[in-house]
Amino acid sequence: MAELAPNEHVNVVVQEEEVSSPWKEAWKTFRKNKIALVGAAIVLFFIVIAIAAPLIAPEGINEQKLEVEERLQPPSSEHWFGTDDFGRDIFSRVIYGARISLWVGFFSVVGSVIIGSLLGILAGYYGRWVDTIISRLFDIMLAFPSILLAIAVVAVLGPSLQNALIAIAIINVPNFGRLIRSKVLSVKQEEYVMAAKAIGMSDARILFHHILPNSMAPIIVQGTLAIATAIIEAAALGFLGLGAEAPTPEWGKMLADSRAYLIQAPWTMIFPGLAIMLTVLGFNLMGDGLRDALDPRMKN
């Protein structure tokens, strides 16, 4: 029995190594990055206040005050962020604005990921004329500045929050498409993909069961960073009057409505601007941490 002890020890070591996975290693690396954890905490904070907005907001988002003295009030114990030109509580509107900005950022990126990944997979896997057509389409879209392309899309569809979401999703498709295409070009040369082709596995099964799951890491990183960009783009469209319409408490729209009171009541612009800055900062810090954790080239 004494001779079996070393083998048992080897088996235990092997089992422990098998339990460990790249995702667990990435999580360990991410937890060690303090700055990334700060970014994740900021993102989680805004997600929580967005979900609990009805419980946190002291007033309704469109509750106007008829008294003139209630309008453009500075921050106080009654109105933490002050009031706007209609006497509405800015604190309540900023909280509800988190719902809109996160909603636009998340779903626009989801749309970009779905469409961009599908086109990128087809271009990278099949190559030849399919790759040429899709790649040239991406090049044409990338030839325009993103905000100008978004403005053009909204101008065609009409100004609204939903159309702004669609425009942001469209302009980010090439970024995800080119990213997944480059990943597919390398993954499809792996031995397990060659073996799947050799046994007669269908292209659809190879793409969605072998290639796509092994290409998710860069998509996750890019998606996290893209949410921050999408929030800025949604705010820019709202500021230009092409996004959310009044009285929707969207942060970019709140900035646009407060331009005339920058000197008289600067708090009407400061707090929506800080909300945009902190949310984008949180996603960028978290995205950088995910990149360091998931990209093998960033590891020592």
Ranges of each domain in the chain: 24-298
Predicted local confidence at residue 2, as pLDDT: 46
Q: Virtual CA dihedral for 212, 215, 221, 226, nearest 10 degrees?
A: -50
Which phi and psi (to 5°) does residue 89 adopt? -70, 115
- Give SS3 for 77: coil
Provide the 3-class DSSP secondary structure of residue 83: strand
What is 24-298's CATH number, 2.60.120.260, 1.10.3720.10, 3.50.50.60, 3.40.47.10?
1.10.3720.10
What is the C-alpha to C-alpha distance for residues 143 and 119, in angstroms, rounded to an integer? 18
Q: How many CB atoms sit inside 10 A of residue 177's CB?
A: 28
**pLDDT value, residue 297:** 55
Cα–Cα distance list, 286 to 35, 60, 65 (Å)? 8, 32, 40
Residue 63 burial by CB count (10 A; 0-12/13-18/19+): exposed, middle or buried?
middle
Mean pLDDT of each 10-residue bin along the chain, 300 residues long: 48 46 73 86 92 84 70 83 84 90 91 90 85 90 88 88 90 90 80 76 76 79 88 88 82 86 86 92 88 63
**pLDDT value of position 57:** 81
Q: Give the pLDDT of residue 181.
A: 87
